[in-house]
Amino acid sequence: MQVIAEIAPLRDQILQWRREGQRIAFVPTMGHLHDGHLTLVRKARENADVVVVSIFVNPMQFDKNDDLVAYPRTLEEDTAKLHAEAIDVLFTPSADVMYPQGMDNHVSIEVPSLSNILEGASRPGHFKGVATVVSKLFNIVQPDVALFGEKDFQQLAVINKMVADLALPIAIVPVPTVREMDGLAMSSRNSRLTVDERQRAPVLAKTLRWISSQMRGGRNDYSELVLDGNDQLRAAGLEPDEIFIRDAHSLQPVTEQTSKAVILASVKLGQVRLIDNLMVELTVAQTEECSEE
């Protein structure tokens, strides 16, 4: 496994693989790797001859500097995990490499129809930062395929639309959310939970499953379902941030044409903000007279 921190030598290596006709898979991460990330890496190996992983804590996508400072950085441990997975290259650029003239002077990319709704409404600039850094990483690595987890559902939607709109020749492969045995979605932020908070955290996934079961049972009073879900979260000591029930394809409110919905939720637990989602197949009856607001 090569570890490369600069753009030029990585491009030289990519060019060599291209000349050899190698298919390249890419997994962009911010490090502090867990089994969810490693699942993406293993899926990447199934899709290509060469696997490139990046670790870069992107300051452009943090709307609060405290969150940027607190984000776990475990490069030595991450490198060991990726070495064990036998990836081909670990790309570890610094902020100076990615933004040599500073973020304020850097070209930015925004996906207007998806960046400022839902999660984007409460985290201004977050998805612009995501789209910008992913676009730049795509231009550096030039992969044939890139893999992203479905846990960050809106992020995946933003990247899919960016790739489509910019006609990038990259196949985006979504990978289902990887969960702990108790249902908690794996996240780098989970390590910041206290013992007590960690015991309560699975209630988020449990609440999503309950809302899903209610929808499958025929309920389409979505605004009431959201209120009921918030009550369950508060009862367990979690502070609800947002719960949305949306069309899984457009992220717009559910309509009579919606065949698959997604429940998107975020909560605050101590100093940590957790997100999760769950998709639900809908029948025609469930989309009639539906409402969320």
Q: With a cut of 70, list the residues of the chain below it in pLDDT.
A: 284-293
Provide the pLDDT for residue 293: 43
> Token match 């790797």: residue?
33
| Tokens describing residue 173 | 């492969």
- Tell me the domains of the chain and their CATH numbers: 2-175 (3.40.50.620), 188-287 (3.30.1300.10)
Could you tell me which residues are annotated as the binding site?
30-37, 61, 149-152, 155, 178, 186-189
DSSP 77-129: HHHHHHHHTT-SEEE---HHHH-TT-GGGS-----HHHHTSTHHHHSTTHHHH
In sequence order, which residues have a C-beta less than 8 Å from that of residue 18 and are 6 or more positions away?
A: 24, 142
Could you tell me which residues are annotated as the binding site for ATP?
30-37, 149-152, 178, 186-189
Could you tell me which residues are annotated as the binding site for beta-alanine?
61
In sequence order, which residues have a C-beta less than 8 Å from that of residue 197 and are 6 or more positions away?
A: 269, 270, 272
Residues 286, 283, 160: CA angle, nearest 5 degrees: 100
- Rounded to the nearest 5°, which phi and psi values hold at 204? -60, -50
Edge to edge, the sheet with strand 239-247 lists 239-247, 260-269, 272-281
- Per-residue pLDDT of 52-74, as tens digits, reads 999 999 999 998 888 899 888 99
Provide the pLDDT for residue 66: 85
Could you tell me which residues are annotated as the binding site for (R)-pantoate?
61, 155
Q: Which residues are catalytic?
A: 37
> Token match 């030595």: residue?
76
Taking the C-alpha atoms of residue 170 and residue 242, their distance in angstroms, rounded to an integer, is 32
